[in-house]
């Protein structure tokens, strides 16, 4: 089979679906390659106000769910990484979605281990800082309804200042 035919077959077999929280500006879009086969695969984009969340964040909890980023995987629409929703096994290990059924199960709230951030009201004063250190369980004061949590760094991040956090906080932790 010629490469162009294979690419056409892949594109035709891919479904694009999404989950969104219009209030917070977060959206998850994913495609399914080879649906219903043994080689079914998920490719996802995690977006804030239409902009891809950079892969450097790697493992986050957002208003639309908990996601794990995988670097250097070419996907569609110009993304060069993929984000997969994750639940957890009983022993605490991460369980990334591998099929469309897994994604739908997680996004539809059927798996209690799939964490989301549900902040209905922001603090009376939302911080102007790009990020605030803290735990997921005990949210610090000053975070807004659209903020997200970066698990490995223990940071609450203002999504409007994503690039600033990349240049300061995440750049330092990557060098360690």
pLDDT per residue as tens digits for the range 104-119:
888 888 888 888 887 7
pLDDT of residue 174: 44
Assess whether pLDDT exceeds 80 at residue 18.
no
Instruction: Give the Cα separation of 164 and 45 in Å (integer).
Output: 21
- Give the β-pairing of 59-62 and 148-150: antiparallel
Assess whether pLDDT exceeds 50 at residue 59.
yes
4: exposed, middle or buried (C-beta count within 10 Å: 0-12, 13-18, 19+)?
exposed
């Amino acid at each position: 089979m010629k490469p162009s035919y294979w690419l056409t077959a892949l594109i035709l077999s891919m479904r694009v679906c999404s989950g969104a929280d219009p209030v917070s500006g977060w959206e998850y879009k994913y495609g399914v390659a080879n649906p219903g086969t043994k080689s079914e695969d998920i490719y996802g984009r995690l977006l804030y106000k239409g902009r891809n969340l950079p892969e450097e964040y790697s493992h986050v909890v957002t208003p639309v769910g908990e996601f794990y980023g995988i670097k250097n995987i070419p996907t569609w629409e110009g993304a060069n990484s993929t984000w997969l929703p994750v639940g957890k096994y009983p022993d605490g290990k991460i369980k990334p979605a591998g099929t469309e059924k897994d994604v739908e199960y997680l996004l539809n709230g059927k798996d209690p281990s799939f964490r989301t951030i549900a902040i209905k009201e922001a603090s009376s004063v939302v911080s102007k800082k790009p990020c605030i250190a803290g735990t997921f369980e005990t949210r610090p004061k000053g975070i807004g309804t659209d903020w997200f949590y970066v698990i490995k760094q223990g940071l609450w991040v203002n999504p409007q200042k994503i690039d600033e956090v990349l240049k300061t906080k995440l750049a330092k932790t990557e060098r360690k």
